[in-house]
Structure 1
């Protein structure tokens, strides 16, 4: 008698959101490393003069968080968002968007004169939510819950006296623009989609250079 399990083996389902899982793991590893080594001084972003022209800081800002608990929570939210969004836009574009939103947050705090921040993971999440909200709006879906959620998070950051709300707003702006750009290029080649992301990155970097030279 044939073994039905050998005829129909159970195979693990492929991960639908590898980029979001990778970003979540990277954030957790950085948070753990920051507890063991002076990593914050190497990866933090802000308007401090010692950070000038250190381009890697804004590029990895969305992977930074001040505690392991925050890293775990951010990672869970990221995977939840990625489970819905990443299959739609692709893993590469999802990772680029997440990091780009961190650049937007880093740019915002530099322009606002905030000297130091190591809390960029929420920027990436808010940027992703803003991008998804723009896409839903264009597709004539109900976005009231999305707007309320984003507003509540930003108001909470202001109430508790955290400077991260400035970075959150920057990330939301970049995420919204990125969502609109994706809608314009979604039927185009990956090269054109990448060009749109690079254009947004260039604008942020130009703004950062202005703060560095002033």
Structure 2
């Protein structure tokens, strides 16, 4: 039997040939070979796990962590930044669809228009539904003028206010202004039934003035706009001054709360103020009878 020579010591072993070392694999897909590493954590990543970075590539987890640390863009007066004024477009569509529905169901005005007596008897939804209806298409050219003016004003003013306030706050402003106009009609409108988005639109007029002042813009043009429309309200017959002025006052108050809320706890103050306005409007309807209708 011949004896075998002892194995060489580690220092005597031959060097590893180039290319013989272990090939790195993706940390998420161990079966995939890769020589690309994440620029942040230095882990190997395959093409499916690569994300473009300012320099090189990053892995999925590092990109996710980086996005969480990036502060989201905000509208000037709070809320998320608005790229497209979707709330404005949604309100336009709702008003136009409601106007088209009046052709198919003429009785909709009687059932859902703003009427003090019906609201007093418990049909509270008329406070908001009447703000999405307009003069009947069967009444001639005035009805067309009615909705065209309101929708043109919403188209012109809405996107600017939505971008300044953020979509959620803009929606709250519009709806509270609409309800404020309806509450004024309930209290001071008498037996007349009213419809139209004018209360909400006048609320936007007031808000545009407040926001312009807050952001340092020249608001004189807005004052002229408000003055002219208020004059029209009292000069031409058949226009509900109650709805217009109620919406104007409500929208101005809500916009002031949004625009001048302190930077600290801004969202809490803004939403709290909007809720307080809504509570006041609800109390006016539930605790007071229509003031312009004797005997109630």
Normalising to structure 2: TM-score of the pair?
A: 0.61
Quote the offset at 1:163 in angstroms.
3.7
Q: How does 1:133-212 map to 2 (within 5 A)?
A: 133-185=209-261, 187=263, 188=265, 190-212=267-289
Distance of aligned partners of 1:35 and 1:51 in 2 relative to their CA distance in 1, 3 Å threshold: farther
Going from structure 1 to structure 2, the CA distance change for 1:190 and 1:138 (only over 3 Å counts) comes to closer
C-alpha separation in 1, matches of 2:163 and 2:226? 23
Q: 1:113 Cα shift? A: 3.4
Q: Distance in 2 between matches of 1:26 and 1:151?
A: 28
Aligned to 1:71: 147
Q: How many residues align?
A: 200
Deviation by residue 1:178-211 (Cα, 9 ceiling, x = unmatched): 1111023374454543222121111111111233
SS in 2 for 1:141: coil
* Mapped partners of 2:118, 2:109: distance in 1: 13
Give 5+ residue unaligned stretches, structure 1.
1-13
Please tell me whether the aligned partners of residues 45 and 58 of structure 1 are also in contact (alpha carbons under 8 angstroms). Answer: yes
Looking at structure 1, the residues matched to 245 and 187 of structure 2 have their Cα atoms a distance apart, in angstroms, of 12
The residue that corresponds to 1:19 in the other structure is 87
Q: Indicate the structure whose relative CO is greater, using CA pairs within 8 Å and at least 6 residues apart.
A: 1
Aligned to 2:96: 28
Deviations 1:137-196 (A, max 9, x none): 244432222122112112112111124222111111001101111023374454543222
Q: Hey, what does 2:197 align to over in structure 1?
A: 121
**Kept after mapping to 1: 8 A contact 2:119/2:127:** no
CA–CA distance in structure 2, aligned partners of residues 15 and 29 of structure 1:
25
| Structure number, greater radius of gyration | 2
CA distance in 2, matches of 1:117, 1:130: 24
Q: TM-score, normalised by structure 1?
A: 0.83
1:58 aligns with 2:127: yes
Structure having the higher helix fraction is 1
- Structure 2 spans left out of the alignment, 5+ residues: 1-81, 138-143, 291-295
1:88-128: CA deviations, max 9, x gaps? Answer: 11112111211110111111111113323333312111101
Superposed CA RMSD: 2.3
Distance 1:142 1:63 in 2: 31
Mapped to 1, the partners of 2:108 and 2:194 lie a distance apart of 10
Where does residue 41 of structure 1 map in the other structure? 110
